[in-house]
Structure 1
Amino acid sequence: MRFQDWSNPYPSVRAPIFARNVVAASQPLAGQAALRVLARGGNAVDATIAAAATIALTEPCSNGLGSDCFAIVWDGARLHGLNASGVAPAAWSPAYFERKHGHIPQRGWDSVTIPGAVAGWAALQARFGKLPFEDSLAPAIEYARRGFAVSPAVHRKWAAQADALRDEPGFAEHFLPRGRVPATGEHFVLKDAADTLERIAASAGRDFYEGATAHKLIAHAQAHDAAITLADLRNYQPEWMELLGREFRGYTLHEIPPSGQGIAALIALGVLDHLDIGARPADHPATQHLMIEAMKLAFADVHAHIADPRHMQVTPQEMLSDAYLSERARLIDPQRAQTYATGHAPPGGTVHLCVADQNGMMVSFVQSNYQGFGSGVVVPGTGVSLQNRGYGFSLDPRHPNVVGGGKRPFHTIIPAFLTRDGAPVMSFGVMGGNMQPQGHLQAVVRMLAFEQQPQSACDAPRWRWHQGLRVDVEAAMPASTVAGLQARGHDIHIGTGADMDFGSGQFIWRLGDPAVDGYVVASDGRRDGLAAGF
Structure 2
Amino acid sequence: MFAFDPQSNPYPISRQATYARNGMVATSQPLAAQAGLDILKKGGNAIDAAIATAACLTVVEPTSNGIGGDAYALVWVKGKLHGLNGSGPAPKSISIEAVKEAGYDKIPKFGWIPVTVPGVPAAWAALSEKFGKLPFKEVLEPAIRYAEEGFPLSPVLSKYWNRAYQIFKENLKKDMFKHWFETFIPNGKVPKAGDIWKSPGHAKTLREIGETNADSFYRGELAEKIDQFSKDNGGFLTKEDLASYRAEWVQPIGVNYRGYDVWEIPPNGQGLVALQALNILNGFEFEARDTVDTLHKQIEAIKLAFADGFKYITDEIHMKYSSEELLSESYAARRRNLITDTALLPEAGDPSSSGTVYLSTADHEGNMVSFIQSNYMGFGSGLVVPGTGIALQNRGHDFSMDPNHSNALVGGKKTINTIIPGFLTKDNEAIGPFGVMGGYMQPQGHVQVVMNTIDFGMNPQTALDAPRWQWMKEKSVHVEHRFAHHLIQGLAEKGHQMQLAVEPNSFGRGQIIWRDPETGVLIGGTESRTDGAIASW
Give the shorter-chain TM-score range: over 0.9
Runs of 4+ in 1 over 6 A off after TM superposition: none
Identify the match of residue 165 of structure 1 among 164, 168, 177. Answer: 168
Give matches, 1:163-312, under 5 Å: 163-166=166-169, 167=172, 168-276=177-285, 278=286, 280-312=287-319
Percent identity between matched residues is 45
CA distance in 1, matches of 2:147, 2:490: 50
SS, match of residue 370 in structure 1: coil
Which residue in the other structure is 1:98 paired with? 100
Conserved in 2, the CA contact under 8 Å of 1:165 and 1:171? no
Which residue in the other structure is 1:5 paired with? 5
CA distance in 2, matches of 1:362, 1:29: 20
Q: Tell me if 1:501 matches 2:506.
A: yes
Which residue in the other structure is 1:84 paired with? 86
RMSD: 1.2
1:76 Cα deviation after fit? 2.0
CA distance in 1, matches of 2:501, 2:377: 20
Conserved in 2, the CA contact under 8 Å of 1:511 and 1:518? yes
Give matches, 1:114-513, under 5 Å: 114-166=117-169, 167=172, 168-276=177-285, 278=286, 280-333=287-340, 335-341=341-347, 349-495=355-501, 498-512=503-517
1:169 Cα deviation after fit? 4.4
Give the letter for the 1:425 counterpart.
I
1:486 Cα deviation after fit? 1.2
Conserved in 2, the CA contact under 8 Å of 1:193 and 1:383? yes
Task: Flag structure 1 segments of 5+ consecutive residues without an equivalent.
Answer: 343-348
Aligned residues: 522
Conserved in 2, the CA contact under 8 Å of 1:210 and 1:234? yes
Which residue in the other structure is 2:351 paired with? none
SS, match of residue 256 in structure 2: strand
Q: Tell me if 1:15 matches 2:20.
A: no
Give the letter for the 1:10 counterpart.
Y
Which residue in the other structure is 2:35 paired with? 33
1:360 Cα deviation after fit? 0.1
Conserved in 1, the CA contact under 8 Å of 2:429 and 2:517? no
Q: Give the TM-score, by structure 2 length.
A: 0.96
Give the letter for the 1:292 counterpart.
I
Give the letter for the 2:449 counterpart.
A
SS, match of residue 53 in structure 1: helix
Give the letter for the 1:507 counterpart.
I
Which residue in the other structure is 2:75 paired with? 73
Q: Tell me if 1:533 matches 2:508.
A: no
Which residue in the other structure is 1:345 paired with? none
1:13 Cα deviation after fit? 4.8
SS, match of residue 356 in structure 2: strand
1:147 Cα deviation after fit? 0.2
Conserved in 1, the CA contact under 8 Å of 2:11 and 2:465? yes
CA distance in 2, matches of 1:146, 1:122: 24
Q: Give the TM-score, by structure 1 length.
A: 0.96
CA distance in 1, matches of 2:18, 2:289: 24
Give the letter for the 2:39 counterpart.
V
Render the CA deviation track for 1:88-132: whole Å, top value 9, x for unaligned. Answer: 111011111111132211111111100000000000000000000
CA distance in 2, matches of 1:359, 1:93: 47
Identify the match of residue 109 of structure 1 among 105, 108, 112. Answer: 112
Identify the match of residue 56 of structure 1 among 29, 37, 58. Answer: 58
1:398 Cα deviation after fit? 0.7
Conserved in 2, the CA contact under 8 Å of 1:84 and 1:120? yes
Give the letter for the 1:419 counterpart.
T
Task: Flag structure 2 segments of 5+ consecutive residues without an equivalent.
Answer: 349-354
Conserved in 1, the CA contact under 8 Å of 2:107 and 2:114? yes
1:212 Cα deviation after fit? 1.4
Give the letter for the 2:81 counterpart.
L
